[in-house]
A and B are shown apart, each in its own frame.
Chain A
Amino acid sequence: MHPAFSVIFLTTLIGVGQGLFIAVFTAEYFNWIGLLNVEVDPMFYIIGGLVSLVFMAGGLLASFFHLGHPERAWRAASQWRTSWLSREVIALPAFMAIEFLYVLAHYLQFNEPTTIIIGIVGVIATFALFICTGMIYACLSFLREWASPLTIINFILFGLASGFIFATAYSAYANPAFVQTFGWFAVAFTVVVFITRSLSLSRNQKLKQKPKTTTQTAIGSHHTQVTQRSQGQMGGSYNTREFFHGKTEMFLKNMRGIFMVLVFPVPMILMGLGLSAGNPNLLLAAFVIQYVGLIAERWYFFAQVNHPQNLYYQTVS
């Protein structure tokens, strides 16, 4: 597939936003049930929630650049019965609305059970959104690289990891009492997603060796030697632009190497240094580097998919 930057930014930005909201609410919830005992200014939740909303809005804005007719985007909410994309179109603003209520409740200094209830509803909405985003890709059964529960798990864990790293950096500036909690959560999520993403990478590697759909099934000629000699066009078309990444195998491998380094070890080292030294700048650097890595990760997520339609576009002439 040809990776679209609009979708790369959409999925990475809302991932950070969702993870950050869960982090901020985790802080409040742990305080409420007594796991933590931290003096908190409501501004901590308000700013945390607002920053998360900015990430969400950034993702939403990016998604519009993917559309040919953004002015008709409202129509996309209509087919929620069948389309995961439609469900995401509903879940994203719904989560933003609940998050806004959460911020508003803190701004109006509501008592704790109210903000906790809104927060729990928000967490449910966050996971609903994660599942919708993941299912958009996982539901396409013949795009086998995506059609796996790992796709959804990775979306959730990447969102949580990047959101919690941001929350760690944020609390280092705003309320250092939360730094250790957020930090260890962030490390745990990053370690787990390293495992699950590695699993999906090795799964996809194995898929290559056993293709389900071949040129033979594509044209119904089951000879062992079938070669395309012409694709019926010389200058390319949507089919050759949308479904090929247009880069070399080497480029793809390098991209995988880059994201495996930028998303996992580098931020972990910076987190370790930042947490032990209590240096907010190192924590912020960990977030920025991981986010850059996530852009590469998402690029690879799209590029590695070998769409079955490509079987019809192997040779120009």
Chain B
Amino acid sequence: MTQLALVIDLNVCVGCHACVTSCKQWNTSGDAGPLPDDNPYGANPTGVFFNRVQTYEVGKFPNTETIHFPKSCLHCEDAPCVPVCPTGASYKRKEDGIVLVDYDKCIGCKYCSWACPYGAREFDEHDKVMKKCTLCVDRIYDQNLPETERKPACVMACPPGARLFGDIHDPDSEVSSAIREQGGFALMPELGTQPSNHYLPRHKRKIPIHEDELVRVDSPLAKEEKKDYDEGSASLEDSASW
């Protein structure tokens, strides 16, 4: 069985919100209609987003570290939002494990959002239905797109490549090996929802540099004398050591 999911590398995420804006752009332009933005240029802009990047500070000043934390629907394997839905509008696809809302069946009772511990669902006050991340289901199977682009919009947009997308039930997939080899973890594991999306932990990267590596043995400057230019007229090209 397939379970599509995102794996987000917290060690790579720089908190640029590119995934947030590309998600919004893609999902507000689709067949399901726009995602609302109320008061976008006012004092209190509000709207529906499927994905948000939050920031946390870990440690005590001055020894603090920043964690940028993108949060969207985790497409739980045991999704608590699905069985509570009274209409069957909220469902988990058998074929790929994506949790979706049928906007034509949703009565807008909001019960599913109460049942989601992650706050992944947002109610659309204009369409009066519950909305959530679709894992870009209208994109990842689109035969008109080149195969390399059949990925969620957030994954496509992430500049440092912090977001991986794939089947976590396939042990040979990129996401599975990332989870396995880099200590991928789930959010609120104590609740037993078995989130499909995983996060790769922050860790400190250290590059061991020995002193002899700091000075190039074959540095041209070591062989040639330092040139003496007129500081006023010298350009970058004049001072380059080629």
Contacts and interface: CB of A to CB of B under 8 A. Distances in A.
User: For chain A, which range describes its interface: under 10, 10 to 19, 20 to 34, or 35 or more residues?
Assistant: 35 or more
Interface string B121-134: 11101011100000
Interface string A35-79: 000000000000000000000000000000011111011011111
Given A67-B109, A221-B58, A239-B122, A233 B44 contact: no
B53 A232 contact: yes
A302 to B, nearest CB: 10
Interface stretch (B64-72, B151-159, B217-225): B64-72
Interface string B160-198: 000000000000000000000000011111110000000
A227 B57 contact: yes
A142 B117 contact: yes
Interface stretch (B78-86, B140-148, B208-216, B232-240): B78-86
A265 B87 CA distance: 42
B188 A85 contact: no
Q: Which of A67, A69, A215, A307 has the most CB of B within 10 A?
A: A69
A202 interface: no
B114 A68 contact: no
Nearest to B84: A83
B47 A225 contact: no
B120 to A, nearest CB: 8
A104 B221 CA distance: 106
Contacts of A86: 86-87
A219 B69 contact: yes
Interface in A81-119: 82-86, 89
Contacts of A237: 46-49, 122
Given A235-B45, A312-B119, A75 B58 contact: no
Contacts of B113: 238, 242
Contacts of A124: none
Contact of A242 (B52, B57, B123): B123
Interface in A207-255: 212-213, 215, 217-221, 223, 225-239, 242-243
A308 B86 CA distance: 22
A309 B118 contact: yes
B106 interface: yes
Contacts of B201: 220-221
A235 B185 contact: no
A83 B122 contact: no
Q: Which of B46, B47, B188 has the most CB of A within 10 A?
A: B188
A82 B115 CA distance: 13
Contacts of B42: 235
A213 B59 contact: no
Given A68-B129, A76-B107, A83 B55 contact: no
Contact of A83 (B59, B85, B114): B85
A83 B46 contact: no
A140 B112 CA distance: 10
A75 B43 CA distance: 39
Interface string B90-119: 000000000000000111111101111111
B33 to A, nearest CB: 14
A190 B113 CA distance: 33
Contact of A312 (B39, B54, B128, B202): B54
20 contacts: A72-B87, A75-B105, A76-B86, A82-B83, A85-B86, A85-B111, A86-B87, A89-B86, A140-B84, A142-B117, A220-B187, A221-B56, A221-B201, A229-B56, A231-B54, A234-B44, A237-B48, A237-B122, A238-B48, A313-B119
Interface of A: 1, 66-70, 72-73, 75-79, 82-86, 89, 136, 139-143, 212-213, 215, 217-221, 223, 225-239, 242-243, 307-310, 312-313
